[in-house]
Amino acid sequence: MKKNAYSPSRRKFLGNAAAAAITPPFILRSLGSFGPGAQPGKRLRHASIGVGGMGAHDLQNFKSHPQVDIVAICDVDAGHLKSAAAVVPGARTYRDWRELLEKEKDNIDSVNVTVPDHNHFIIASHAIAAGKHVYCQKPLCHDVAEVRALTRAAVRAGVVTQLGTQVAATVGDRTGVQWLREGIVGKIKHAYLCSNRPGAVEAYRLVGPRPAKGETPPAELNWEIWTGTAPMRPYAPGIYHPTKWRAWQDFGTGWSGDIGCHIFDPVWKGLELKTPLSVTAEVQQSWRDSPARRGDTWPQSNHITWKFPPSERTDPGGLTVEWFDGEFYPPEEIRALYSVEKYPAESSILIGSEGALLIPHQGTPVLLPESKFKDHKRPDMQDQNHYHNFVNACLGGPGTESFFARSGPMTETVLLGTVAIRVPDTLLEWDAEHLKFPNHPEAEKYLRRSYRHGWDDIKV
């Protein structure tokens, strides 16, 4: 790591990160959604960091905005970089994001960070320190402490931000948010979130163990930069890059960390939730009983429960939110409110005093029982483009929907679930202001990581 790069901004960032440690997430939510941006009509000079897989999708969406110029692209995989260069032939290419930020600091206004979770914070924090607007894929960071520090830094810097919950811009999610804010189904007492996507366990959630002996990385992959802040380990084909890294604790945040932000998003926004009071998790027995797996991979199945204090839109007794994936499903009697056989594999259902609201992921919300709400009109709205909303905000337009001051506290809550997973069947009482578990301080070690030497110039 270059020790002298961005040193003035780094010192400022470190001060912000320290302040974040004593700033509760609900305070951050009130600090504003966007900075000054550019003047209307100006073109946005954008750089894409990570252009393979989801990065290729992100690149295409930014490129499709008529006022965006993709001036630089970066990827540790030369094959991904070559494919992306064909899409934006005029863009300058980089293999190292640090080099891009240094050489392009006067040529870009914004970046998107679409890389494995463990490198989100270090890249996004350097971009923010350089005064760049940031679109970052979910989850915002790998660790709770990183999210807190990055959120605070973004607010202090006044840059435009957006979390990559692209479905938030669709009519479905926005309708769910509006109906919750209108109180159509009354005060919410319980929410059941799930992601039981067919085939996902087999395709993405590796059991392990990692190979005893690695191989030489392919020439087109810079394994050193890909590994980044994580502990170095030998390269092995087919289990890390490009898509399997989510299964490993060093690199990803498991299935709940990956998809949880999508499913939680309309619930969080619609109920205007703040920080939870506690979290606990149940995991599959085979993972729980294997020390080797518990120390390296994420479970293939999780059931997480958060407790929230009462608020304007919740039951006076408070709110319980449950997450189910893998072999864990929402209770049959809850699914039966819609249809056990046709229940959406990825969705949330909120139980209120006057009915229930089902919000399928990438689908159309349903008020239940349907006979009671059959005459209720849907809001008149159209799908939007989450990426274009970010661009428009950077160009001086309306603020983004998933700005870090809003989506950061939500991501913290999701990632508290990954902490609970690592100490299963243990109730963790959460002191959000001090980033502490007062009743179980041993779990606090999972709130932040120590970065690998050479990548540890920013402490969290």
CATH label of the domain that carries residue 360: 3.30.360
How confident is the model at residue 199, as a pLDDT? 86
Mark which of 368, 400, 426 sits at the end of a domain.
Answer: 368
What's residue 30's pLDDT? Answer: 36
- Is residue 346 located within the same domain as residue 303? yes
Q: At 144, which CATH number?
A: 3.40.50.720
The answer to whether residue 288 is domain-embedded is yes
Indicate whether 456 belongs to any domain.
no
Whether the Cβ atoms of residue 399 and residue 34 lie closer than 8 Å to each other:
yes
pLDDT, tens digit (0-9, with 9 covering 90-100), for 356-387 = 999 999 999 999 999 999 999 999 999 999 99
Q: Is 12 exposed, middle or buried (0-12, 13-18, 19+ CB in 10 A)?
A: middle
Same structural domain, 57 and 98: yes
Structural domain contains residue 203: yes
Tell whether 260 and 363 lie within a shared domain.
yes
Contact indicator for 362, 35 with CB cutoff of 8 Å: no
Residue 48: CA atoms inside 13 Å, Cβ hemisphere, count? 28
Q: What are the φ/ψ torsions at residue 224 (nearest 5 degrees)?
A: -60, -50
Same domain, 164 and 176: no
Tell whether 406 and 323 lie within a shared domain: no
453 assigned to some structural domain: no
Number of Cβ atoms within 10 Å of the Cβ of 332: 9
Residue 320 maps to a domain? yes
Tell which of 334, 368, 402 closes a domain: 368
Rounded Cα distance, 108 and 130, in Å: 10
* Domain presence at residue 214: yes
Same domain, 269 and 214: yes
Do 139 and 188 sit in the same domain of this protein? no
Average pLDDT over residues 214-221: 96
Same-domain pairing of 161 and 195:
no
Q: What is the mean pLDDT of the chain?
A: 92
Q: In what order do the strands lie in the sheet with 92-94?
A: 92-94, 68-74, 44-49, 110-113, 133-136, 161-163
Average pLDDT in the 273-279 region? Answer: 97
Instruction: Look at residue 44 in the predicted model and tell me its pLDDT.
Output: 98
* 239 plus 274 within the same structural domain: yes
- Identify whether 310 is part of a domain: yes
Based on the fold, state whether residues 183 and 104 are members of the same structural domain.
no
> Domain check: are 246 and 326 in the same one?
yes
**What is the domain count for the chain?**
2
Task: Band the pLDDT of 40: cuts 50, 70, 90.
Answer: low
Q: pTM to 2 decimals? A: 0.92
Whether the predicted pLDDT of 29 surpasses 90: no
Q: Find the mean pLDDT for residues 157-178.
A: 98
- Domain assignment present for residue 374? The answer is no
Domain extent, residue 43, equals 7-168+386-413+437-447
